[in-house]
Structure 1
Amino acid sequence: MLKSLTGRFGAWSPAASLRTLLAFGWSQALSCAFPIVIFASLGMTKLVHVPGLSRYDLLLVICLAAQAAMIWTRLETWDELKVITLFHLIGLALELFKVNMGSWSYPGEAWSKLGGVPLYSGFMYASVGSYICQAWRRLGLQFHRWPNSYAAAGTALLIYANFFTHHWLPDLRWWLTALLALLFWRTTVSYTAGGRTMRMPMLLSFALIALFIWIAENISTFLGAWRYPDQELDWTMVHWSKLSSWFLLVVISILIVAQLKRIKAHGNESQA
């Protein structure tokens, strides 16, 4: 396993591994540009108050400006912006439902609130899409032994539906996780950093991204981005069980990007 993560294709040496690690870290940092802006904004708006502008409204302005800046500087492509917009809409729909079901809340006031949900919240989902799109491009992601597209898409729809239906019906997340394990147990992802190509099991990749999002969620709730019911009086660490939700959301996110890229590839082939 160590070999697969540190340089499956190429001779191993400490110097080469360090170069690869630095190149990988730099690519990851660039891919995280939008999430980093959101984190910095959460910290800044907790300390800085702009007269006449609520915190949530200010966060929305910052997110919109960041997206415009990323397009202008070409850190992000127009195609990636389309994908990110889709993530924003999907995330906002989930937020509207969850907030009105009492799963979490946004206690601050804002002009940009819709159904108790500030519009900037959709950008937190969009930031996940931004990271996936940019990491895909910068690291040259290639998937091997990808499962049947119809089975993968159907599973993604079931996962998204379960986020809503588990409030009335039995929660199927563990059954869906088991289904994902069956679908992806042979799937791997290869990526290139510093001229070296490496490979990782797809399920491990899902889990690692989910872990980092869970850590980010703890930072976000600490900075007051939103609150869970047990954080109303005082901040507490987000429960480990949320990792399963993020794992499933990561799977949906990657499947959406993969499907959109396939559709575009087929379109380009048809034009050619």
Structure 2
Amino acid sequence: MRYGFVGTGEITAAIVAGLSTAADPPEVFLSPRGRAVSARLAERFPNVRVCADNQDVLDHAPAIVLAVPAPVARDVLAELSFRPEHVLISATAGVPPERLRAWSAPAGAVVRSIPLPQATRRRSLTVMYPDNAVARELFTRVGGVLVPGDEAALDTFHGATAAFSAHLDYLGTIVDWMAARGVDPGAASAFVTHVFGELGSSLLERPDSLTVMSTRHTTPGGLNEQFRDDLRRDGVPDAVRRALDRDPGPGAGMTRQAGVFRRAR
């Protein structure tokens, strides 16, 4: 299989690194968008080539990953000539499937996906819809695949990814609190990163639900229970739900419908 990437940001770099560090790496063709990233990937991996333009990518690969910002997706695709053997795998959030199909006709298939930065270590659990053998092969090479029941469920997964930055900000708040109490900032950061990094690893190793895991880390009357209950009294869980439900606004390419994120039409 040969894979082409139109758009070379962080997600493309992660997928390409994951593909290229595995045994028997596939041929990878990159667009010149994001020239610095493309050049670094081509210098690092012998299976990666930077093409002259985006059409050159399509001319060399049947599986095309679209990874450009939503506002420019139409203009980028309008310049390209797809063939029926092409599979367009969109990693661009905020563009409805019917538009992707219209803009990439006569491509044989269009798949929406949510690849994660962990692809660089081949540990991305990539959500995609609909199921497609070509897309499944690609994302299996860089981790696992999860196919939800319908398009609306995929939108909900997209909404959940909005919590990434807030989670990191939460950890940063703990580090800042420790530093304000006299702990060396570097030591505080190393400790918090280790504790929550290892906690994340334990989540992957245990088949239990998050509720069960939370109970195991909660001693009745202990510090964990007190801290959790303080946050619940302050309405933190409800604030999280409100933030996930909130309409991100027209610039984000999504609207809220019945409490679930859906792509703007």
TM-score, length-scaled by structure 1: 0.28
Q: Which has the higher contact order (CA 8 A, sep 6+)?
A: 1
* TM value normalised by structure 2: 0.29
